[in-house]
Structure 1
Amino acid sequence: MPCLKIITNIPKSNIPKDFWTEIISVLAEGVRKSPDMFLCVIQDDCELIINGNSTLPGVIATLESIGNLGSEDNKRIVKLLTAFMEKELGVPPNRFFLTFYDLETYNVAKGGITIETLLKKE
């Protein structure tokens, strides 16, 4: 269950209606997992300062996944997401900040059980 969390100073009204569909496609390509596995949340219209400026559009994001993250994977993913944020939201590359978290199955739960336990049942 990869999860992308986005915090932005962009108002909801300026986020394209198809943003969700499009970003899930980008994530699926980048992380190499099925689109139906992804979780994504956007916290919009936040007070945000990047590079000393709070008026230009900016995004701070975290991407968490069990696997498919690492040195080479992250380079590919950040390139895809940076281009997407610039195209869809008008966020310049120097105002997009992304952190990656490669999670262990015992640190993630769904439906009241850890993914580790869920995988052992299969």
Structure 2
Amino acid sequence: MPCLYITTNLNLDGIDTDPIFSEATTAISKIIGKPEKFVMVLLKSSVPISFEGNKEPAAYGEIISMGGIDKQVKKKLIDTLGTILQSKLSIPRTRFFLKVFDTTAFPTRSKI
């Protein structure tokens, strides 16, 4: 199940965030290749964030998936999610940082 967690310093009270959830869900599903019913999106606002030494609109995101992420997918996720935040919240793409994590990239140890 891919999970996207976005934190922003913007106050989103009174803002219709439904388009962010739906566009991000669809984009993640298509890019990673997982059904939309398995995609989770969390959005937290009004978090103090300083980026480039100032507190202008910015966002930090983390996406975690069990498989489906390679170099090309990572680049497409960063580009697409940055575009969504820029178009829906006016957060410049240069003020969005996305951490991408694939849980299958690390071998698991079996218990004896």
TM-score by length of 1: 0.78
Contact in 2 for aligned 1:10/1:45 (Cα 8 Å): yes
Find the counterpart in structure 1 of residue 30 from structure 2.
Answer: 29
Q: How does 1:20-99 map to 2 (within 5 A)?
A: 20-54=21-55, 56-99=56-99
Task: Give distance in 2, aligned partners of 1:81 and 1:73.
Answer: 12
Identity of aligned residues (%): 24
Task: Give distance in 2, aligned partners of 1:63 and 1:69.
Answer: 10
**Counterpart of 1:62 in 2: which secondary structure?**
strand
Contact in 2 for aligned 1:57/1:95 (Cα 8 Å): yes
CA deviation string 1:29-80 (max 9, x = no partner) = 22221111011111211100111111x2111000000111111111111111
Gaps of 5+ in 1: 108-122
Mean Cα deviation higher: 73-82 or 92-101? 73-82
Cα deviation, residue 103, structure 1: 0.4
Gaps of 5+ in 2: 108-112
Cα deviation, residue 15, structure 1: 4.0
TM-score by length of 2: 0.85
The count of residues paired between Structure 1 and Structure 2 equals 106
CA RMSD, Structure 1 to Structure 2 (Å): 2.0
Cα deviation, residue 16, structure 1: 2.6
- Which runs of structure 1 show a deviation greater than 3 angstroms over 4 or more consecutive aligned residues? none
The AA in structure 2 aligned to 1:47 is: P
